Amino acid sequence: MAPAVSQAKTNNADRAIRLLCFCILATVGMAAIAAALLVGSLVCYSADQALLDTQQRRIEALQLLQRQQEELLANSKKPSVIERAAISHLNYTLRDCDVECSQKLPASWPELEAALTQVDHRQQPAQSLWWQRFSENLIQRPRHRILLGAFGSVLVVISLAFFYRPR
């Protein structure tokens, strides 16, 4: 009776190892095939997503500007609001103030504004993720794409041929 129990444990361990090898090889093979086939779509999707993100940020900035302009227009009857906006944006000085009480902006103000607008308009270089670098590399080298698909197919065939046994 002891050899039969030992034989059953060996068969169960053998089945578990076969199942594990089948799952690993088949999954890696199918992932390689999927990567070879879908790499172009993945790159297009990530580029579209980056474009959508930048457009969304621009829309939010324009909505903020619109809210500020609407608030300014709503308070246009109050002279203090208009004067503050003119002082801060147009370098306007009040008539009834003396020279020493007016706050003049520094002489480098236009250069500072120009520098800030240039920094705002520059796109921030986004760090590419590992899958983006991988897909761009595969797109540039179509032979590697074909090889990746072929090796994935070979792994699936090997897993089916050697590790899959129907009951």
Q: How far apart are CA 159 and CA 22, in angstroms?
A: 5
Domain of 147 in residue numbering reads as: 19-107+132-163
Q: Report yes or no on 93 lying in a domain.
A: yes
DSSP 100-155: TTS-PPPTTHHHHHHHHHHHHHSPPPPPPPHHHHHHHHHHH-HHHHHHHHHHHHHH
Give mean pLDDT, residues 17-44: 88
Q: Is residue 124 part of a domain?
A: no
4 in a domain, yes or no?
no
Residue 37 lies in a domain: yes
Overall average pLDDT of the 27-53 stretch: 88
Q: pTM for the whole thing?
A: 0.50
Of all residues in the chain, what percent carry a pLDDT higher than 70?
A: 61
Total count of domains within the chain: 1
pLDDT value of position 56: 94
Within-domain flag for 6: no
Q: Considering only residues 6 and 17, tell me which one the structure prediction assigns the higher pLDDT.
A: 17
Residue 8 belongs to some domain of the structure: no
Does 151 fall in a domain? yes
Q: Which of 13-17, 50-54, 139-143 has the highest mean pLDDT?
A: 50-54
pLDDT bin (cut points 50, 70, 90) of residue 130 is confident
